Structure 1
Amino acid sequence: MNLADIAALRLANQQILNTRFTDPAELVAWMGAVQSQDFAMAKWALGLRLKKATDTSIEQAIDAGGIIRTHIMRPTWHFVAKEDARWMMDLTAPHVYKLAGTMYRQLKLDETVFKITNDLIGKLLADGDELTREEVIAEVNKAGIETDNLRATHIMFQAELDKIICNGARRGKKFTYALFDKKVPASAPLKREEALAALAKRYFTSHGPATVQDFAWWSGLSVTDSKLAFETVRNEFETAGVDGREYLFPAVAELPKVHGKAILIPAFDEITIGYADRSAAMDDAVAQNPESGSGIFKPVVMVKGKVVAAWRRTEKKDAVHIELSRLAKMPAAAENSLEAAGTTYARFIGKKEVVFQ
Structure 2
Amino acid sequence: MRSAEIVRHRMHSQRLWGHPLDSPEKVVRWLGALQAQEYAYALWSVAQRAAGVDEAAMNQALATGTILRTHLLRPTWHFVLPEDIRWILKISAPRVNAFNAYYYRKHGLDDELFATSNASLANALEQGGHLTRKELANVLETAGILANGPRLGMIMMRAELDAVICSGAPRGKQQTYALVDERAPAATTMGTDEALAELTRRYFTARGPATLKDYLRWSRLTAAEGKRGLGAIDSELEREVIDGRTYWFATPSLNANKVTKVVDLVQGYDECIMSYSESRDVLLASVTELADTPNVQPFLHAILLDGRLIGHWRRVLERGSVAIETSFYRSLGR
1:97 aligns to what? Answer: 97
Q: Which amino acid aligns with 1:120?
A: S
Q: C-alpha separation between the residues in 1 aligned to 2:11 and 2:103?
A: 37
More displaced stretch, 314-323 vs 6-15: 314-323
Contact 1:286–1:292 at 8 Å: present in 2 too? no
Q: Percent identity?
A: 35
TM-score normalised to structure 2 length: 0.93
Residues 1-357 of structure 1: pairs in structure 2 closer than 5 A: 1-127=1-127, 129-187=129-187, 189-252=189-252, 254=254, 255-276=256-277, 277-283=279-285, 284-285=288-289, 291=296, 298-331=300-333
Uncovered stretches (5+) of structure 1, i.e. residues with no partner: 333-357
CA contact (8 A) 1:3 1:279 kept: no
More displaced stretch, 194-203 vs 230-239: 230-239
CA displacement 1:95-137 (0-9 Å, x = unmatched): 1001100110111100010011000100001146000000000
- Number of equivalent positions: 329
Q: Deviations over 1:297-339 (max 9, x none)?
A: 711111110111100111234432011111123237xxxxxxx
Which residue in the other structure is 1:346 paired with? Answer: none
Q: 1:288 to 1:181 in 2, by over 3 A?
A: farther
Conserved 8 A contact 2:32-2:203 = yes
Change (3 A) 1:188 1:263: closer
The whole-number CA distance in structure 2 between the counterparts of 1:325 and 1:155 is 40
SS in 2 for 1:51: coil
One-letter identity of the residue aligned with 2:206: S
Deviation of 1:74 after TM superposition, in Å, equals 1.4
Query: How far apart in 1 are the matches of 2:173 and 2:111?
Result: 33
Given the superposition, is the C-alpha separation of residues 304 and 45 from structure 1 closer, same or farther in structure 2, using an over 3 Å criterion?
Answer: same
Q: Is the 8 A contact 1:35 1:270 kept in 2?
A: yes
Cα separation, 2, equivalents of 1:214 and 1:64? 33
CA distance in 2, matches of 1:309, 1:142: 50
What is the TM-score with the length of structure 1 in the denominator? 0.88
Measured in 1, the distance between the counterparts of 2:217 and 2:239 equals 19
- Distance in 2 between the 1:318 and 1:172 partners? 21
Cα distance in 2 for residues equivalent to 1:222 and 1:108: 27
Distance 2:106 2:318 in 1: 43
Please report how far the alpha carbon of residue 80 of structure 1 lies from its aligned counterpart in structure 2 after TM superposition.
0.8
* Whole-angstrom CA distance in 2 between matches of 1:94 and 1:102: 14
Distance across 2 between alignment mates of 1:279 and 1:89: 30
Structure 1 pair 200/180, CA: closer, same or farther in 2 (3 Å)? Answer: same
Question: For residues 286 and 167 of structure 1, what CA distance do their matches in structure 2 show?
Answer: 42
Shift of residue 47, structure 1, vs aligned partner: 1.4
Q: Is the 8 A contact 1:26 1:81 kept in 2?
A: no
The residue type paired with residue 4 of structure 1 is A
SS of residue in 1 equivalent to 2:68: strand
Determine if contact 1:264/1:301 at 8 Å carries over to the other structure. Answer: yes
Q: Within 1, Cα distance between the matches of 2:214 and 2:291?
A: 17
Distance 2:118 2:230 in 1: 35
CA distance in 2, matches of 1:172, 1:64: 14
How far the C-alpha of 1:20 sits from its partner, in A, is 3.1
Q: Against the structure 1 CA distance between its residues 101 and 288, is the aligned structure 2 distance closer, same or farther, given a 3 Å change threshold?
A: farther
Measure the CA separation in 2 of the matches of 1:217 and 1:199: 13
- Cα separation, partners in 2 of 1:331 and 1:64, compared to 1, 3 Å: farther
Stretches of structure 2 that go unaligned for 5 or more consecutive residues are none
Q: For residues 179 and 324 of structure 2, what CA distance do their matches in structure 1 show?
A: 39
Letter in 2 for 1:259: T
User: Secondary structure at 2:281's aligned position in 1?
Assistant: coil
Q: Residues 72 and 89 of structure 1 are in contact (CA less than 8 Å); yes or no, is this contact kept in structure 2?
A: yes
Separation in 1 of the partners of 2:263 and 2:27?
A: 22
Q: Is the 8 A contact 1:126 1:179 kept in 2?
A: yes
Counterpart Cα distance in 1 of 2:23 and 2:161: 27
Residues 55-64 or 3-12, more deviating: 55-64
Report if the CA contact (8 A) 1:17-1:258 is conserved: no
Superposition deviation, residue 185 in structure 1? 2.7
Whole-Å separation in 1 of the counterparts to 2:249 and 2:316: 38
The answer (yes or no) to whether the contact 1:91–1:196 under 8 Å persists in 2 is yes
**Deviation string for 1:169-190 (max 9, x for gaps)?**
1111111000011001334631
Matched letter for residue 262 of structure 1: V
Name the counterpart of 1:344: none
